[in-house]
Structure 1
Amino acid sequence: MTTRKAIETRARLQQVATRLFAEQGYDATTVEQIVRTAGVSHMTFFRHFATKDAVILDDGFDPTIAAAVAATPASLRPITRVCTGLRAALSHVDVPEQEQVRQRVRIAAQHPALRMGMYANTEATREAIVGVLLDDGADEFAARVAAAAVLAALTVALQEWCLADDGVPMSAALDAALAVVDGGAT
């Protein structure tokens, strides 16, 4: 069980690291600088993040997404299940402060290794969604297309949102992408 203190420490590490990465650049920032600025030990850092990359890439959202898709009626079309599940997951997850998310995505998008890590995370999410759909008897091709289409739409929405700085909440940008994929918007 994760304690409140552990959650706060993890959030502080992520906040400090994100700020340092934005100020100094990802490569120029060391774990030593992060732990010193956050006031924790190396051991504490690595208890929360396996690598420096993980500070930017870890979001812990995959199990929530898979569970939310699994909770949708198996009778729905795969694309509808994925969109419905993601809407439910987004409404129930505790998203970090939006500006920090914006910074993390910008940092990852600008760094080749982190960008590859984002793609790997998306692939893991896609496979988790496909697994849920297949477990409920969905056609494999339809399950793979649905998961890939929805995640591609969310990726575009997140990237556009990060570049816009227009005050639109992240949740609104993601919901608009889901509406396009699910046929609710053009």
Structure 2
Amino acid sequence: MSAEPETLGLRERKKIRTRATIREHAMRLFAEQGYAETTVEQIAEAAEVSPSTLFRYFPSKERLVLTDDLDPVLLTSFVDQPADLPLLTAFRRSIESVFLRLSPEEREQEERRQRLIYSVPELRAAQMDELLRTIDLLGQAVTDRLGGDADPFEVRVFAGALAGAVLGTVRGEPPRISELLRAIEVLESGFPLVRAIEAARTSGSA
């Protein structure tokens, strides 16, 4: 998100800007030269920081691409949705809210990041580890929303099912937001088309 919280001090705002600058130059160089051909040293030089400073913000070259800055914003929005909303509805509305607040430039940056992940085999493979991390974060957000009373195993299965629904929209390229929302709506409605086909087959074999 583009706006920096006014409550942050000068040092914190400087860190945010430095981090954003490093990532901006990294994405530019990846687009111009290719991911494999771009070195950490080149990114650090372009951002006018030392490699050691770069690694304080991003511990590896992969993390420059894989780190999703929208995750914490999305999960905070999810937890803050009205308490009477079902979990899936709350998650769908949080996606809608967060992505509607993105500027055109931020939306384009996120789309470029996603395209890079899906076009580089190394990053695409590493994305599976990121998916497990996302399931952990989502599971914690679900627990927070339910007040900590939910069964941990059931919560993780729920988070995995939601992540799997999103993963199911992938067909060799990043999914559109409309597809992500549709995937959640299919979960919300309990797979009505699948159930209708099953019901028809059951009644036909009776």
Q: State whether TM-score is above 0.5.
A: yes
Give the unaligned 5+ runs of structure 1: 164-169
Structure having the higher Rg:
2
The alignment's TM-score, normalised by the length of structure 1, stands at 0.71
Seen in structure 2, the aligned counterparts of structure 1 residues 45 and 155 have a Cα distance that, compared at 3 Å, is same
Matching residue of 2:66:
57
Give the unaligned 5+ runs of structure 2: 1-7, 194-206
Question: Deviations for 1:9-33, whole angstroms, at most 9, x for unmatched residues?
Answer: 2222212111211222212110111
Q: Following superposition of structure 1 onto structure 2, how do residues 87-102 of structure 1 map, counting pairs within 5 Å? A: 87-90=96-99, 97-102=106-111
- Which letter maps to 1:37? A
CA distance in 2: counterparts of 1:103 and 1:67, whole angstroms: 24
Seen in structure 2, the aligned counterparts of structure 1 residues 38 and 9 have a Cα distance that, compared at 3 Å, is same
Greater relative contact order, per chain length (Cα 8 Å cut-off, separation 6+): 1
Seen in structure 2, the aligned counterparts of structure 1 residues 65 and 15 have a Cα distance that, compared at 3 Å, is same
Match 1:113 to one of 122, 136, 139? 122
The alignment's TM-score, normalised by the length of structure 2, stands at 0.65
CA contact (8 A) 1:78 1:146 kept: no
Seen in structure 2, the aligned counterparts of structure 1 residues 58 and 3 have a Cα distance that, compared at 3 Å, is same
Q: Following superposition of structure 1 onto structure 2, how do residues 170-185 of structure 1 map, counting pairs within 5 Å? A: 172=178, 174-183=180-189
Matching residue of 1:79:
88
Matching residue of 2:163:
151
Instruction: Report whether the alignment pairs 1:18 with 2:24.
Output: no
CA distance in 1: counterparts of 2:105 and 2:166, whole angstroms: 17
Give % identity: 32
- Which letter maps to 2:111? R
CA distance in 2: counterparts of 1:94 and 1:156, whole angstroms: 27
CA contact (8 A) 2:143 2:155 kept: yes
CA contact (8 A) 2:88 2:184 kept: no
Matching residue of 1:167:
none
Deviation larger for 30-39 or 116-125: 116-125
Cα-Cα RMSD: 3.5
Deviation at 1:79, TM superposition (A): 2.9
Match 1:40 to one of 49, 52, 55? 49
Question: Deviations for 1:136-157, whole angstroms, at most 9, x for unmatched residues?
Answer: 2345565344423433344455
CA distance in 1: counterparts of 2:45 and 2:33, whole angstroms: 15
- Which letter maps to 1:60? D
Question: Deviations for 1:128-184, whole angstroms, at most 9, x for unmatched residues?
Answer: 222343452345565344423433344455778748xxxxxx65554444444434x
Matching residue of 1:129:
138
Aligned length: 180
Deviation at 1:71, TM superposition (A): 2.9
- Which letter maps to 1:105? Q
CA contact (8 A) 2:118 2:174 kept: no
